[in-house]
């Protein structure tokens, strides 16, 4: 019995101890579970925070990609950014976007300053143009009066010349009629007519000498009046390749008119031209804008240079006559129709010409004609390949002889086609422009400096 009681005691103690141990283990497990729950909750909060941060970073990266203009993975964006900095931010490429922005900002500042300088230069050019216009307006009255007086003087001289020529021709015809009547009378009487024929020849020689003297006098007057400049360059803009001249709507100048430019130092238009311009816009009563077609590299067009064309004269309509083959582009074909069209387009008048069939169109040359232009003339009409061609060639030769005689009688200057083209600047649409060499400046400030030096 005693042994059984001891066994029960031991079992009871063991179970109690086991219960305590199990209780402690259960408590520790519960406490650990509570701690882990807290840690899991904290970890969950951290994961949510990280997710929010990742979402925010993704949004910020998308916004940054939008600002940079790139897209794709991080490595691709970085590569594109480096290429963009190297390409657009200049050499050497900046290391950071901030450095690139600073460089661009400096360049923007420089461009803004340059723009302001150009604006100031433009305003100064406009002031100079206004002053030049005022000077031209003030000066044009005196020059216009002098031009009108010169034209009146020349008209008076022409009238006197024509009257003198008419009287001379009338006297010669009367004398010739008298001599011929005397010859007939002597023939009837059987007398000698050698003396009368000699007298008639002397009368003709005197008439020819009178015509030659009056022609020389008239040419000198024409040289004084017609070989003077039509106008003057008042402003040059090498940026737009344009000039402004002191001729405008009041002078009846028209757009499309080509004019030669001569050095203002000579004061005449007898020297070699330094360039050529074409009127593009009528700006005012005594001002027009022209585009530079060509100029010499070593002698660029400057302010106060002179402009001139024989096709146009203020207040007058110049008249021309043409004879011969007018080959203006060197291709061997007749360009008479094209040449006449360009002459008329310049405001001039065609008095008479010979067409490609050898027919003369227009009236006999008189004192209203300024120039007789002679083109190519057949040397030997019999060398023509066809009978019709030979007849046309003979007609052209006859017209050349006759029109030269008419021009000589009225003191009209006779020029070759080449000289006429050089003096007027007329060329065919397909003519080579290889000789045109325009010297251009690179800044408006340089142009202003040249303008100041030329004042």
What residue ranges do the domains of the chain occupy? 2-69, 149-226, 231-309+435-454, 319-424
pLDDT value at position 374?
Answer: 95
Q: Do 410 and 367 touch, CB atoms closer than 8 A?
A: yes
How far apart CA 259 and CA 230 sit, in angstroms, is: 9
How far apart CA 149 and CA 145 sit, in angstroms, is: 6
pLDDT value at position 224?
Answer: 42
Q: Do 278 and 257 touch, CB atoms closer than 8 A?
A: yes
CATH (residue range 231-309+435-454): 2.40.10.410
Q: What are phi and psi of 329, to 5 degrees?
A: -120, 5
**Considering only CA atoms, which of 71, 231, 35, 68 is closest in space to residue 143?**
231
What are the tokens at 169? 């021709």
pLDDT value at position 429?
Answer: 45
pLDDT value at position 28?
Answer: 83
Q: Do 246 and 256 touch, CB atoms closer than 8 A?
A: no
Which residues have a Cβ under 8 Å from the Cβ of 349 and sit 6 or more positions away?
A: 317, 318, 319, 320
Each residue's pLDDT tens digit in the chain (455 positions)? 556 677 777 888 888 888 888 888 888 888 788 888 888 888 888 888 888 888 887 777 777 767 666 666 666 767 776 677 666 666 666 667 677 777 777 777 888 888 888 888 788 877 777 776 676 666 666 666 766 776 677 677 767 767 777 777 777 777 777 777 776 766 665 545 566 666 666 666 666 666 665 666 555 555 544 467 788 999 999 888 899 999 988 888 888 888 889 888 877 766 788 889 999 999 988 899 999 998 888 889 999 899 988 777 776 778 999 999 999 888 888 899 999 998 888 878 999 999 988 999 999 998 888 899 999 999 888 888 888 888 999 999 999 999 998 888 877 889 999 988 887 777 654 444 444 433 433 333 444 444 444 44
SS3 237: strand
How far apart CA 144 and CA 252 sit, in angstroms, is: 12
Query: Looking at the DSSP assignment, which residues form a beta bridge with residue 322?
Result: 373
The dihedral region occupied by 80, where left means phi > 0, alpha psi between -120 and 50, and beta the remainder, is: alpha
């Amino acid at each position: 019995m005693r042994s059984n009681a001891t066994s029960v005691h031991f079992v009871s103690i063991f179970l109690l101890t086991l219960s305590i141990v199990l209780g402690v283990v259960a408590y520790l497990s519960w406490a650990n579970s509570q701690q882990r729950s807290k840690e899991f909750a904290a970890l969950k909060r951290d994961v949510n925070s990280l997710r929010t941060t990742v979402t925010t970073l993704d949004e910020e990266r998308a916004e940054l990609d939008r600002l940079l203009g790139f897209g794709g993975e991080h490595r691709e964006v970085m590569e594109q950014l480096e290429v963009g900095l190297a390409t657009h931010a200049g050499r050497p490429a900046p290391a950071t976007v901030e450095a690139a922005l600073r460089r661009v900002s400096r360049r923007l500042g420089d461009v803004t300053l340059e723009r302001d300088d150009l604006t100031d230069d433009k305003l100064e050019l406009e002031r100079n143009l206004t002053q030049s216009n005022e000077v031209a307006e003030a000066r044009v009255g005196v020059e216009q009066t002098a031009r009108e007086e010169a034209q009146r003087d020349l008209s008076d001289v022409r009238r006197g010349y024509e009257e003198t020529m008419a009287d001379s021709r009338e006297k010669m015809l009367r004398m010739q009629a008298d001599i011929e009547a005397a010859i007939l009378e002597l023939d009837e009487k059987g007398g000698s007519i050698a003396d009368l024929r000699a007298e008639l020849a002397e009368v003709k020689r005197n008439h020819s000498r009178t015509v030659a003297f009056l022609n020389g006098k008239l040419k000198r007057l024409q040289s004084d009046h017609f070989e003077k400049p039509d106008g003057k360059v008042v402003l040059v803009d090498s940026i737009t390749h344009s000039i402004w001249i002191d001729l405008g709507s009041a002078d009846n100048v028209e757009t499309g008119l080509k004019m030669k430019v001569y050095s203002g130092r000579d004061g005449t238009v007898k020297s070699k031209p330094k360039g050529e311009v074409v009127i593009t816009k009528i700006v005012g009563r005594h001002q027009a804008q022209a585009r530079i077609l060509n100029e010499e590299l070593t002698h660029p067009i400057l302010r106060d240079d002179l402009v001139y064309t024989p096709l146009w004269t203020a207040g007058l309509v110049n008249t021309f006559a043409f004879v011969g083959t007018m080959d203006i582009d060197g291709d061997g074909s007749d360009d008479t129709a094209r040449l006449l069209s360009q002459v008329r387009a310049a405001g001039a008048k065609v008095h008479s010409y010979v067409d490609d069939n050898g027919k003369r169109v227009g009236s006999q040359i008189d004192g209203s004609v300024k120039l007789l232009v002679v083109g190519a003339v057949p040397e030997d009409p019999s060398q023509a390949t066809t009978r019709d061609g030979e007849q046309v060639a003979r007609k052209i030769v006859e017209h050349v002889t006759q029109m030269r005689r008419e021009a000589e009688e009225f003191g009209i200057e006779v020029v070759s086609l080449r000289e006429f083209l050089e003096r007027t600047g007329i060329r065919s649409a397909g003519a080579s422009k290889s000789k045109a060499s325009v010297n251009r400046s690179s800044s408006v400030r340089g142009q202003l400096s040249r303008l100041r030096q030329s004042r």
